[in-house]
Amino acid sequence: MGHFAIAGLQLELSAQDNLPLVRSELARLKQRFPWVDMAVLAELSLFGTNKAHAQPLPGPIEDDLCRIARELDLWLVPGSLYERRGDRVYNTTPVINPRGEVVARYRKMFPFQPYESDVTPGADFVVFDVPRAGRFGVSICYDMWFPETTRTLAWMGAEVILHPSLTNTIDRDLELSIARTNAAINQCYFFDVNCGGRLGFGRSIVVGPEGDVIHQAGDGYEVIPVEIDFERVRRTRRRGLLGLGQVLKSFRDTTLQFPPYVDGPGRSASLQALGPLHVPARARDEER
Q: How confident is the model at residue 83 (pLDDT cuts 50, 70, 90)?
A: very high
Span 186-201, mean pLDDT? Answer: 94
Span 265-279, mean pLDDT? Answer: 90
Domain that holds residue 223: 3-286
pLDDT digits (tens, 9 = 90+) for 119-152: 999 999 999 999 999 999 999 999 999 999 999 9
Q: How far apart are CA 118 and CA 109, in angstroms?
A: 13
pLDDT reading at 201 higher than 90: yes
pLDDT digits (tens, 9 = 90+) for 157-183: 999 999 999 999 999 999 999 999 999
What is the total count of domains within the chain? 1
CA nearest neighbour of 144 among 73, 271, 43 = 43
CA nearest neighbour of 79 among 66, 95, 67, 90 = 95
Residue that wins the pLDDT comparison between 160 and 15: 160
CATH of the domain at 30: 3.60.110.10
CB 7 within 8 A of CB 38: yes
pLDDT value, residue 1: 57
pLDDT reading at 285 higher than 80: no
HSE-CB for 195 with a 13 A CA cutoff: 29
Residue 220 per-residue DSSP state: S
